[in-house]
A = this chain, B = another copy of it.
Amino acid sequence: MTQAQARPAGVRPSTETLERRGSITTDRDGGPGPLDGPEAAVILERARATVDPELRAAVESLPASLRRITRYHFGWEHADGTPAAGNAGKAIRPALVLTAAAAIGGPRARAAAVRAAVAVELVHNFTLLHDDVMDRDATRRHRATAWTVFGDADAILAGDALQALALRLLAEDPHPASAAAGARLADCVVELCAGQQADTALEKRGPGEVGLDEVLTMAEAKTGALLGCACALGALYAGAADEDVVALDAFGREAGLAFQLIDDVIGIWGDPGHTGKPAGADLAARKKSLPVVAALTSGDPAAAELAALYEVPYDEEDLQRTALAVERAGGRDWAQAQAAERMARAMQELARAVPEPEEAGGLLALAEFVTRRSN
């Protein structure tokens, strides 16, 4: 249990690593991979440009004390309040909102969905502020996290205010889809909370006490839910039929889970040239990531060896042995097959809602960017 409690900062993947990959718009840290393509970069850059003015206006509406914490969190200000160049993350979720709206309803729907895109980005950042407090993560987007600078109370309160701001934006929006979008986003917040709760609870349990299904459910709640919700909100704002809203939600969820699986593989075996995450980081932290739990629950003889290694604190010499045990127990193959299956399901859902390849192209490019398939 000790190693789980003493889990070092910055090793939890999911939402964080979607952020950590440098900013396409400000630097080329790692550069785009073979399938990230210029198209995803252009979509993300355009989304950031569309969303930023409304996002900043929403933050400006906060009382000064909360605005200061929020501006720092978004990278717009240094801790002392002076302006910063800013790295507010890649805007993947707002890009999904806008691109889903455009895929179904064209440029007019994209323009109408800007508030929904801002609301999703606010919710995402509210969860980052709170997750960092709970996980004691000291770094985000290459900067000190808000709680390390302002204290726990300020970070919690800024997060609370961002959730309120997100749902207020939708409550105030006269668009006919705004109420349904607000209800859906609020539901998603509940699922995100359940996912984070499951994650913190799982990390406290022993390696033999965790089932694969519950880790998959946790990953879907923590990572898939908001990506799915972003797509669903775009569809709602484009006036999509109910079944298309559901299909686009499923598309985002499956792509999100594919991302998580691949990120977990990278967290063990590394990803040459793509992320700053060193190979083995998740193993060193004794993280019960998807490939690890798949290996632990495989019934293979290597599973017992892995469980024994996970019972004791991290030892650098055991790192290769641990990675090998995960691999021998089938964790790597399972994760890669699962990721491929999830992406195939995502494509099916996308084709169902947006059958015209030309219209689906933007969402496809974003899904490929998010999963950054290095296999």
Contact = CB atoms under 8 A, between A and B. Distances in A.
* 8 shortest interchain CB distances as A-B pairs: A168-B186, A171-B182, A164-B189, A63-B194, A171-B183, A134-B153, A167-B167, A164-B186
Contact of A167 (B65, B130, B158, B186): B186
Interface in A133-178: 133-134, 151-154, 156-161, 163-165, 167-168, 170-172, 178
A201 B111 CA distance: 41
Chain A interface mostly helix, strand, loop or mixed? helix
Interface residues of A, number: 43
A4 to B, nearest CB: 13
A161 B201 CA distance: 17
Given A163-B164, A171-B179, A190 B66 contact: yes
A190 B62 contact: yes
A193 B164 contact: yes
Given A171-B186, A172-B179, A193 B157 contact: yes
A41 interface: no
A79 interface: no
A197 interface: yes
Given A62-B190, A168-B186, A197 B153 contact: yes
A18 interface: no
B196 A183 contact: no
A68 B158 CA distance: 26
